[in-house]
Chain A
Amino acid sequence: MSLHTLTIAELSRKLRAREVSSVELTRACLKRIEEHNKPLNAFLTVTAESALAEAGSADRQLAAGGAGPLTGIPIAHKDIFCTDGVRTSCGSRMLDNFVAPYDATVVARLKAAGTVMLGKLNMDEFAMGSSNETSYYGPVANPWDRSRVPGGSSGGSAAAVSARLIPAATGTDTGGSIRQPAALTGLTGFKPTYGRVSRYGMIAFASSLDQAGVLTRSVEDAAILLEAFAGFDPADSTSVNEPVPPYTTLLEQPLKGVKIGLLKEFFDKGLEEATGSCVRAALEVCRKLGAELKEVSLPNLPLSVPTYYVVAPAECSSNLSRFDGVRFGHRCQDPKDLMDLYKRSRGEGFGAEVKRRIMTGTYVLSAGYYDAYYLKAQKVRALINEDFRRAFREVDVLMGPTAPTPAFAIGAKVDDPITMYLNDIYTIGANLAGLPAMSVPCGLVGGLPVGLQIIGPHFAEAKILNVGHRYQRETDWHRRIPRGYE
């Protein structure tokens, strides 16, 4: 019996039935990491010793009978989440030596729920990228074809879960960084509503867009994890004080009468034909389950990418000013004065894409250009938001593709930032409007996974999970395992 192919829900039943111990399960995962991580480059840090200690205490809790659904379940965190006493690099040379002095709320809540942390996962530097190629620690390979990217920025999370090294991982999504890698590696990737999950201890990129979520092998697992870490946190001033519904108990509702909007603008000329066919087939499955399909147009949505590439860099230029070579992070050798210290520490500590975004942001916020770029983008953002609001008066959820093509080759888009940015054309809208959204596997094209995206109104996590779960009950795309990782 191979433990590594099971979902959290399945493992949880085995742990509570005492068919397997958390220590055994943790050892099995560590062995998988040992065997497969090197060519994938998914893990940056493996915390074997503390993991076995945590597994031991989970086993004691399981024996005592006080176990929850996550007690003893191994997971790993994107290296953007602060982990007390464990290096937190954010994929950057800037934080190569940074040992976080406290746990992020997401980390703390998952720890309290009994999960076992196996380590920290590779990512695009400061979450800026769509291919995991901007990491200071090198690219991550896609388990479905190691010459291809796993997507980004949560590329290490995607590769580790897809290759069956761990059952689930955390991720963050500012412009698609959970959903796009989930699509490209055949996983379920969930980004909750803005403010639903605490961002305390999650290194900031663009504060009006960032949100934490998960990459899993089933919608049910996403619901289990979300239930454990969503909810109000006084330590995050953008956290929303709304009750967290019991997502796992709402998964089975029938789809009869659910109104699904097909996002007209997502079936555009940029969408690869075979990818589009998989998505259309998935919509047909939902229709057969009783859902009503209806085409919906959001005319301003095609402006999402240019809007994002003003708003996100502006916010990043401000957020990343904290890296000054004084309090933490990289410091240059022999600075001749304070200005030299700032400039060289930052110039050396940040990679090319991060510097590009900081400078774009600095420019669009600078005197004389603020109105033309930043204010204009915030107005277009309002138009996109209004498009979504109008659509949700008519439908319960919106559906379309997650990414325009399956995974592309490592190196194919690194020299052209605009081509790379356009890979997030279908995911960015949900971030601009702060909406919850999920990607679920819906087919294979040339042996590579394709994702179906489900977007809902604010705080409609339960409905998205319900629709995705019912779809997964009818299909087995989410159970497909990349060759060599069975």
Chain B
Amino acid sequence: MSNLTRKEVEAIAHLARLAITEAEMPVVVKSLSSILAFVEQLNAAKTEGVEPMAHPLEGQTQRLRPDAVTEADAHEKYQKNAPQVEAGLYLVPKVIE
């Protein structure tokens, strides 16, 4: 499964919400294929009965805190970084006709 087709790469790019230009496409197809071929060495490892490890520290559990407001409202400060804002709202192209 390591040689990806252009069509497959286009599908991945769509899922990742990335526009890939015509000029970029051949390099992307080639390098993604080589990365997938490279990681296929993992198939050689014997992993029957091994629990997948998602966190490097054992016995750590996610902490809970009281459900209370701890942050002050700073939306004006945060929205200074937004490309387009109006009346405290983020603007995007029309979604519903």
Interface residues of A (CB under 8 A from B): 97-99, 101, 193-195, 208-209, 234, 237-238, 240, 300, 303, 306-307, 309-310, 317, 321, 324-331, 335-344, 346-348, 350, 352, 355-356, 358-360, 362-364, 366, 369, 372-373, 375-383, 385, 417-418, 421, 432-435, 458
Closest 6 CB pairs between A and B? A434-B56, A347-B19, A378-B52, A331-B83, A382-B53, A379-B47
A438, B14: Cα distance in complex, Å: 40
Write the nearest CB–CB distance from B67 to chain A, whole angstroms: 15
Interchain CB contact under 8 A, A366 and B15: yes
A341, B20: Cα distance in complex, Å: 13
Residue from B9, B53, B62 within 8 A of A359 (CB atoms): B9
Interchain CB contact under 8 A, B20 and A355: yes
Interface: B82 (CB within 8 A): yes
Interchain CB contact under 8 A, B42 and A380: yes
A101, B81: Cα distance in complex, Å: 9
A101, B35: Cα distance in complex, Å: 37
Write the nearest CB–CB distance from B32 to chain A, whole angstroms: 6
Q: Kindly list chain A residues whose C-beta atoms are within 8 Å of the C-beta of B27.
A: 352
Interface: B34 (CB within 8 A): yes
A348, B55: Cα distance in complex, Å: 33
- Residues of chain B from 35 to 51 with CB closer than 8 A to chain A in the complex: 35-36, 38-43, 45, 47, 50-51
Interchain CB contact under 8 A, B65 and A208: no
Interchain CB contact under 8 A, A195 and B53: no
Interface: B7 (CB within 8 A): no
Interchain CB contact under 8 A, A208 and B15: no
Interchain CB contact under 8 A, B34 and A418: yes
Interchain CB contact under 8 A, A331 and B18: no
Interchain CB contact under 8 A, A359 and B28: yes
A171, B17: Cα distance in complex, Å: 30
Contacts A101-B74, A240-B57: A383 and B47 contacting too (C-beta < 8 A)?
A: yes
Interchain CB contact under 8 A, A385 and B92: no
Tally of B interface residues using CB under 8 Å: 53
Q: Kindly list chain A residues whose C-beta atoms are within 8 Å of the C-beta of B65.
A: 234
Contacts A352-B24, A356-B28: A341 and B81 contacting too (C-beta < 8 A)?
A: no
A329, B84: Cα distance in complex, Å: 11
Write the nearest CB–CB distance from B14 to chain A, whole angstroms: 8
Q: Kindly list chain A residues whose C-beta atoms are within 8 Å of the C-beta of B14.
A: 343
Residue from A364, A373, A434 within 8 A of B57 (CB atoms): A434
Interchain CB contact under 8 A, B62 and A343: no
Q: Kindly list chain A residues whose C-beta atoms are within 8 Å of the C-beta of B34.
A: 417-418
Q: Kindly list chain A residues whose C-beta atoms are within 8 Å of the C-beta of B35.
A: 309, 356, 360, 417-418
Interchain CB contact under 8 A, B19 and A343: yes
Residue from A99, A300, A310, A347 within 8 A of B18 (CB atoms): A347
Q: Specify the chain A residue showing the minimal Cβ separation from B65.
A: A234
Interchain CB contact under 8 A, B47 and A355: no
Interchain CB contact under 8 A, A377 and B42: yes
Q: Kindly list chain B residues whose C-beta atoms are within 8 Å of the C-beta of A382.
A: 50-53
Interchain CB contact under 8 A, B56 and A350: no
A323, B5: Cα distance in complex, Å: 27
Q: Kindly list chain B residues whose C-beta atoms are within 8 Å of the C-beta of A339.
A: 17
Contacts A327-B82, A343-B18, A373-B39: A355 and B53 contacting too (C-beta < 8 A)?
A: no
Which interface residue of B38, B45, B78 has the most chain A CB atoms within 10 A? B45
A332, B34: Cα distance in complex, Å: 30
Interchain CB contact under 8 A, B31 and A347: no
Interchain CB contact under 8 A, A328 and B81: yes
Interchain CB contact under 8 A, A458 and B57: yes
Contacts A303-B45, A356-B35, A385-B53: A343 and B17 contacting too (C-beta < 8 A)?
A: yes
Q: Kindly list chain B residues whose C-beta atoms are within 8 Å of the C-beta of A300.
A: 45
Write the nearest CB–CB distance from B83 to chain A, whole angstroms: 4
Interchain CB contact under 8 A, B19 and A307: no
Which interface residue of A324, A336, A377, A379 has the most chain B CB atoms within 10 A? A379
A418, B52: Cα distance in complex, Å: 25
A418, B40: Cα distance in complex, Å: 13
A232, B65: Cα distance in complex, Å: 15
Write the nearest CB–CB distance from B84 to chain A, whole angstroms: 7
Write the nearest CB–CB distance from B28 to chain A, whole angstroms: 7
Interchain CB contact under 8 A, B95 and A346: no
25 contacts between A and B (CB under 8 A): A101-B74, A101-B80, A101-B81, A194-B57, A238-B60, A306-B39, A326-B90, A328-B81, A329-B83, A331-B84, A338-B93, A338-B95, A352-B27, A355-B20, A356-B28, A358-B18, A372-B1, A373-B42, A376-B45, A377-B39, A379-B51, A380-B45, A382-B50, A382-B52, A434-B57
